[in-house]
Every structure is written in C-alpha cells, then in structure tokens.
Amino acid sequence: MRPLRVALTIGILSAVGSIAGCMQHSAVDLEKPGHMPEKTIEEIQEEHTDAWMAIPGVVGTAIGESHGKPCILVFTASNTEQVRKRIPATVEGYPVVVQYTGEIRALEKP
C-alpha cells in the first residue's frame, strides 16, 4: 500500500504542478518567529496520511506551499463541506490546505 501512496503523491504533484501556492483556502499562520516544530513536515504528513485517506473522498496528500511557508495538502475527489470539516486547518503548527482535484486513478502499465 505504501508504494501506491508514494506513487499517487508523486503523480498528484506532477499533475497539479505548483498548485498555485495552495491559496484556495486561507491558511492560519500559527508559527511564531523563532518557533521550530519538533517534527519535519514530511514526518507529520506521513503520520496523518492514513487517517486522512480513510475519510471518504480524500484521494491523496502532499507537501506544498501557502503564503510562502510549507503546508500539507489534502487532495479530495469531492468538494463538499462534509469532507472539508473532517480535515483540520492545522497540524502541529503546519497549515493544512484542502485542494479539490477530483478522482485520481493510477495509470495502467504499458
């Protein structure tokens, strides 16, 4: 399952490109000057991805940028309030941005 998630994350990043700065939803800037999170954003994304992927409508996660700072992206197949309200605005000091992408399918091997 992990290789599929990695492949989906890489595919999503390739397909979505720079994600236009993750500015579809405003992110809360909770980081204070001089404050460093205890974990890397990659560690935090990895820890929470399984729970987010268990939410119906969530199709992937990635790391992006919002307002010039790192953020965690949660990609959804449906753009509904029911999905968005189950995803926190921040996790361990990093903003979480919900990005509607629609369904994502793995490419068939030639």
- Give the residue extent of every domain in the chain: 2-16+24-100
Contact (CB, 8 A) for 57 and 78: yes
Instruction: Check whether 3 has a pLDDT greater than 70.
Output: no
Q: Please provide the average confidence, as pLDDT, over all residues in the chain.
A: 76
How much is the pTM?
A: 0.65
pLDDT at 78: 86
Residue type, 77: A
pLDDT tens, position by position, 16-70: 443 434 433 333 334 445 555 688 999 999 999 999 999 999 999 999 998 999 9
- CA distances, 85 to each of 31, 52, 58, 75, 77 (Å): 22, 12, 12, 14, 15
Three-state SS string over 38-55 comes to CCCHHHHHHHHHHHHHCC
**d(C-alpha 57, C-alpha 48), whole Å:** 16
Per-residue confidence band for 14, with pLDDT thresholds at 50, 70 and 90: very low
The structural architecture, per CATH, of the domain 2-16+24-100 is 2-Layer Sandwich (3.30)
Decide if pLDDT at 97 tops 70. yes
Hey, which residues does 96 pair with through a beta bridge? 72
Q: What phi-psi label fits residue 16: left (phi over 0), alpha (psi between -120 and 50 degrees) or beta? A: alpha
Q: Is pLDDT at 13 greater than 50 in this prediction?
A: no
